[in-house]
Amino acid sequence: MDLQIRLVNDGFAQPFVDPVLEELPTWANWRNEAFGFTYEPVVFVYNKAAFAGRSLPATHEALATALRSDGEFFRHRVGSYDVRTSGVGYLVATQDEVTSSLSGRLKESLGRAFTQVYCCTSQLLDAIAEGDLVLGYNLLGSYALAHARRDPRIGVIVPEDYALVVSRVALITKNAPNPAGAERFLRFLLSYQGQQVIAQNGELVALHPRASGPFSIAALGTEQPLNFHPITLGPALMVYLDQSKRRRFIIEWQNALLYDPVAP
């Protein structure tokens, strides 16, 4: 999302104005040039067998407490994105910093658990399913939910206190060779009909408020009331793309998360 917004800000997109935008949430439309089209919560993922008889951490605070109080269980068995190499990992980690006052405490707790870091969601989900990890922190919910439907070994927790929501972003490039075709595609992608395709079998979670199906917003809230925090498209997303700010954030992340108690 942040990289797409930078492209738009740098003048690489052309406007798209259409009645289909009237049902698009305001946070998912920036300047009629960048448009979110999915609704993907950021979640915890766990190995069901490992947590048999144990309480599941339903909030960020509960997870931080569990990591501290049950260190032996979690040590070397928690996974998350490597923000140095994962674009979505960096986006989610920085937005966590903006959203929650618990972010620093949780990073330190993850560090004390010797959290393993990965580039990709698929690697994390495979490691959790195999039992090499017992829990994955801040994973992209669309992939996790789809994987859990196919693999009964893993479960998904949408945090009850807040769940960041990532959206995939579409834009029409300024020099698009077929702008009329691009407009037709974007119109369908954002329409109720196009969103129904995602909600029924897209495995990405549709953003349209009226969409229904296994991959819809309505389906996410069937088991518990949830507190979603969609990441808003706009210039604020570019704050952490500043090179000096990015460098400072990664150094702080490394110092907290890649914890080494024997280092001088």
pLDDT at position 222: 64
**Taken in order 239, 245, 247, 252, is the CA torsion positive or negative?**
negative
- What confidence score (pLDDT) does residue 223 get? 58
| 263 inside domain | no
**Phi, psi for residue 59 in degrees, rounded to 5:** -135, 170
- The pLDDT score that the predictor gives to residue 263 is 41
Q: Tell whether 59 and 138 lie within a shared domain.
A: yes
What residues form DSSP beta bridges with 14? 172
Map residue 44 onto helix, strand or coil.
strand
Residues 17 and 65 in one domain: no
Please name the amino acid found at residue 197.
V
Longest dimension (CA), the chain: 61
pTM recorded for the entire structure = 0.91
Q: Cα–Cα distance between 240 and 133 in angstroms, integer? A: 30
| 208 lies in some domain | yes
Direct distance between the N- and C-terminal alpha carbons of the chain, in angstroms, rounded to an integer:
38
Same domain, 104 and 206: no
Residue 50: what pLDDT?
Answer: 98
Number of domains in the chain: 2
Within a domain: residue 264? no
Here the CATH number for the domain that contains residue 99 is 3.40.190.10
Averaged pLDDT in 10-residue chunks for the chain of 264 residues: 96 97 96 97 97 95 95 96 95 93 90 94 96 97 93 96 96 97 98 96 92 90 76 96 95 84 42
With a CB cutoff of 8 Å and minimum separation 6, the contacts of 176 are 14, 182
Same domain, yes or no: 47 and 94: yes
